[in-house]
Amino acid sequence: MKRRWFFISFLLVLLIAALAVHIDRSWKRKLSPRGGRYFFHRVELAVPSFRQSDEKWRDDSLGGVEANGTLGGEGCAVAAAAMVFKFYGIGTDPQQLNWFLTSVDGYTDHGWIYWDRAAWWAPDRVRHTYEDLASYQLIDSNLAHGNPVIVRVRLPSGVTHFVVIAGKDGFDYLVRDPGAGSAKGLYPLR
């Protein structure tokens, strides 16, 4: 009888542990820059880098509205989207994408990008599929299938910034940063 209780207790603990791991991987919430499934082999997607501060477009207003800021100062989302488009072989850069978004009312009144309208740039090749809190499982699944992921991060200063997760090494997510971190190349998001 004692052995039976031990076995049942062991199975119960194992079940609870499996449930906890599943919840941790699939729960949509603010995430740590490390976590999810362990990648035994480093994954690096060949996502090209665009600097939002490139002199060609840094002074362009987001959506053509000066109050929204410029591509150089606040254009990280546009630059990140252009990087992902270019990864998929779709010819664009942050300036061209900004012009397009301006023409299709692709910005909110505060200069935030409407992600679904960005997908209109190449509707036969790109579609807007998800916009919400992330989960490790969602990010890891996309990376494993060769898809980069645009994520919003909060910088130590409190400012919101967009980067492209373009790889993973162990538990570390590797990003391409269209902002100040662009000189680092592909680096761990810590």
Domain membership flag for residue 8: no
Domain membership flag for residue 11: no
> The domain containing residue 50 runs over which residues?
35-188
Q: Is 61 exposed, middle or buried (0-12, 13-18, 19+ CB in 10 A)?
A: middle
Domain membership flag for residue 16: no
Domain membership flag for residue 13: no
Q: Which of 145, 129, 138, 153 is nearest to 43 (CA)?
A: 145
1: tokens are 């009888």
Domain membership flag for residue 6: no
Domain membership flag for residue 7: no
For residue 106, what are the CA distances in angstroms to 56, 114, 115, 127, 187? Answer: 21, 5, 8, 15, 30
Greatest pairwise CA separation for the chain in angstroms: 77
Domain membership flag for residue 84: yes
- Per-residue model confidence (pLDDT) at position 14: 57
- Per-residue model confidence (pLDDT) at position 15: 58
Give SS3 for 100.
helix
Mean pLDDT of successive 10-residue segments in the chain (190 residues)?
A: 65 57 54 86 97 96 92 96 97 97 94 92 85 86 95 89 96 95 87
Count the domains in the chain.
1
Exposed e or buried b per residue across 76-96, where buried means at least 16 C-beta atoms within 10 angstroms of its C-beta: bbbbbbbbbbbbeeeebbbbe
Domain membership flag for residue 153: yes
- Per-residue model confidence (pLDDT) at position 33: 77
Give SS3 for 150.
strand
